[in-house]
């Protein structure tokens, strides 16, 4: 038996995250960093707070919600396994992660992965739709938290607010239901303060939770992204009861990913793209952490590329988009603008358009039905895709596929720019300006033409909007920026300027 087969066989019986750990990938939260991070937390507190001051206006403590008890206190053996807590009434289903392919360059500091999942039953989705994916907390992290709270034996818990009143194991609930890396709330800091044995630690935490500590709270938790575990490590005398900590923790949320595939082309699988998120603690590059979901996906994809037989399963749900869908009518021209992984949905848009066009071509007489009317083939509207990424070679597979589809569609075009290669165009909004005349021709060639934008909402989408406004003025479509802005507003109201963008922070 080859090593690979042996491994995949062994992996069958293991939880996906443990599989990843097995192969020597260390947990992101490194114990060795704790000492340094603790020093930093105390240095920040020391330089911004006077620990002799009395805290004022403390936040209220959270109401009691969970009941935690040992095995001996179990009434019956009716223990359920903890399940992910899904927003609204979405239907969760299991999907096998069947293939992964690196889309970034091999030596890139920011890996970008394409991955495919095979849902247990087919899910009909439209180009532009996203899926919610749940990712458990790492088992080593949960163990670390329990160890720090001096919990050595298995514990069970009940949510007194839940109608089902099931009993679940604390360990599995901590993996599936609680967000351990969200910003600690002020009520949690107050609670932790009240359970400190050391006076100095107690005062520091109470001040941090109070009005007086507002700026320090922002520095450490909002900008610094210090987590519950960092705090517990930095305040060793703090010994809160587990159930009160649980009372303060938010639920683990799913992460959303746009489908990059087209249902009509292959209904058995759904494709996605993600880029690994790294974020600094205290804005210091030496303490970088990985995003919760993309950190796990990156490890799994690395494994899957090497051992394609892994049986890795994800829990996902369909998250349809309201308006971010390409027009059904082949006559309507549209513009797609994106950067980085914002390319994901447009791979589906282009594929769907090509399929639609092929179908149309196969109809008889050079005439085809478009929204009930017979129109001539020559009236097919062009589509343009404007895309920006860092370097030549990134997203190569996607760009090749898209280019093939686009070259098949009448008058359609793909424009690409690279931000980290020499050249006169850096970002996608600059590329739009360079092609200003073509951009205007497409938008004003049809009364229903559309503009779609996808990707980072904070910078790219803003830059794109400003660029379009400048283009409309410079190309003399409108006499001034105010009129151009009003036009963009009209397009947006008519759902002809649709953004699917993501703000993080």
Q: Which residues bind ligand NAP (CB under 6 A)?
A: 110, 130, 258, 275, 339-342, 344, 388-390, 419-420, 427-429, 454-456, 459-460, 463, 500-502, 504
CB atoms within 10 A of CB 314: 20
Nearer to ligand NAP, 191 or 338 (CB): 338
343 lies in the binding site for ligand FAD (CB under 6 A): no
27 lies in the binding site for ligand FAD (CB under 6 A): no
Nearer to ligand NAP, 313 or 426 (CB): 426
Whole-number Å distance between alpha carbons of 240 and 150: 10
DSSP for 431-454, please give it: HHHHTHHHHHHHHTTSTT-EEEEE
CB atoms within 10 A of CB 164: 7
Strand locations in 61-128 (E): 66-70, 79-80, 93-102, 112-119
Contact window for ligand FAD (CB under 6 A) among 165-173, 250-258, 367-375, 474-482: 250-258
Q: Which of positions 117-176 make contact with ligand FAD (CB under 6 A)? A: 130
Count, residues in the chain: 505
Q: Nearest-CB residue to ligand FAD?
A: 291
* CB 12 to ligand NAP: min, Å: 32
* CB 461 to ligand FAD: min, Å: 13
* CB 259 to ligand NAP: min, Å: 10
The SS3 call for residue 367 is: strand
Whole-number Å distance between alpha carbons of 385 and 390: 17
Among ligand FAD, ligand NAP, none, partner that 296 touches (CB below 5 to 8 angstroms by kind): none
Whole-number Å distance between alpha carbons of 122 and 93: 10
Helical residues (DSSP H) of 113-241, grouped into ranges = 139-148, 170-176, 186-194, 199-209, 214-217, 228-234
336 lies in the binding site for ligand FAD (CB under 6 A): no
Question: Beta 284-290 vs 278-281: how paired, if at all?
Answer: antiparallel
Tokens read off for 22: 């097995």
219 lies in the binding site for ligand FAD (CB under 6 A): no
180 lies in the binding site for ligand FAD (CB under 6 A): no
* CB 438 to ligand NAP: min, Å: 19
Nearer to ligand FAD, 115 or 472 (CB): 115
DSSP for 301-317, please give it: HHHHHH-TT--EEEEEE
Nearer to ligand FAD, 350 or 380 (CB): 350
Whole-number Å distance between alpha carbons of 53 and 3: 63
499 lies in the binding site for ligand FAD (CB under 6 A): no
Among ligand FAD, ligand NAP, none, partner that 388 touches (CB below 5 to 8 angstroms by kind): ligand NAP
DSSP for 316-333, please give it: EEEE--SS----S-TT--
* CB 327 to ligand NAP: min, Å: 18
Among ligand NAP, ligand FAD, none, partner that 339 touches (CB below 5 to 8 angstroms by kind): ligand NAP
Residue ranges binding ligand FAD (CB under 6 A):
130, 225, 255-258, 273-275, 277, 279, 291-295, 341, 344, 502, 504-505
């Amino acid at each position: 038996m080859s090593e690979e087969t042996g491994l995949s066989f062994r992996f069958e019986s293991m939880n996906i995250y443990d599989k990843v750990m097995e192969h020597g990938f260390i947990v992101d939260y490194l114990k060795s960093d704790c000492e340094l991070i603790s020093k930093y937390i105390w240095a920040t507190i020391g330089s911004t707070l006077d620990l002799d001051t009395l805290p004022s206006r403390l936040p209220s403590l959270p109401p009691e919600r969970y009941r935690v008890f040992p095995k001996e206190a179990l009434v019956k053996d009716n223990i359920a396994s903890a399940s992910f807590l899904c927003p609204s009434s979405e239907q969760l289903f299991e999907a096998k992660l069947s293939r992964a392919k690196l889309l970034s360059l091999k030596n890139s500091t920011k890996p970008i992965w394409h991955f495919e999942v095979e849902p247990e039953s087919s899910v009909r989705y439209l180009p532009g739709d996203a899926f919610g994916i749940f990712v458990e907390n790492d088992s080593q992290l949960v163990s670390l938290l329990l160890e720090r709270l001096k919990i050595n034996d298995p514990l069970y818990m009940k949510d007194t607010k839940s109608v089902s009143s099931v009993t679940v194991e604390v360990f599995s609930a901590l993996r599936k239901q609680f967000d351990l890396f969200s910003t600690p709330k002020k009520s949690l800091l107050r609670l932790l303060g009240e359970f400190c044995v050391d006076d100095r630690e107690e005062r520091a935490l109470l001040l941090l939770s109070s009005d007086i500590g507002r700026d320090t709270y922002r520095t450490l938790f909002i900008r610094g992204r210090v987590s519950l575990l960092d705090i517990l490590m930095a305040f060793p005398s703090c010994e809160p009861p587990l159930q009160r900590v649980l009372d303060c923790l938010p639920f683990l949320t799913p992460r959303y990913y746009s489908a990059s595939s087209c249902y009509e082309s292959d209904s058995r699988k759904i494709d996605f793209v993600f880029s690994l998120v790294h974020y600094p603690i205290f804005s210091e590059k030496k303490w970088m952490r990985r995003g919760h979901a993309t950190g796990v996906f990156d490890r799994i994809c690395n494994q899957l590329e090497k051992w394609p037989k892994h049986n890795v399963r994800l829990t996902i749900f369909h998250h349809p988009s309201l308006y971010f869908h390409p027009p059904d009518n082949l006559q309507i021209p549209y513009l797609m603008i994106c950067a980085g992984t914002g390319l994901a949905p447009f791979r589906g848009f282009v594929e769907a358009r090509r399929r639609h066009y092929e179908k149309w071509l196969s109809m008889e007489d050079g005439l085809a039905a478009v929204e009930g009317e017979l129109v001539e083939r020559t009236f097919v509207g062009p589509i343009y895709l404007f895309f920006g990424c860092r370097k030549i070679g990134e997203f190569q597979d996607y760009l090749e596929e898209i280019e093939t589809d686009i070259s098949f569609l009448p008058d359609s075009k793909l424009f690409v720019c690279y931000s980290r290669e020499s050249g006169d165009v850096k970002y996608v909004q600059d590329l739009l300006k360079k092609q200003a005349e073509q951009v205007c021709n497409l938008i004003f060639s049809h009364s229903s033409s559309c503009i779609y934008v996808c990707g980072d909402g904070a910078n790219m989408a803003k830059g794109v909007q400003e660029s379009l406004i400048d283009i409309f003025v410079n190309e003399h479509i409108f006499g001034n920026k105010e009129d151009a802005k009003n036009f963009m507003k009209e397009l947006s109201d008519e759902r002809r300027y649709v953004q699917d963008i993501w703000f993080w922070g």
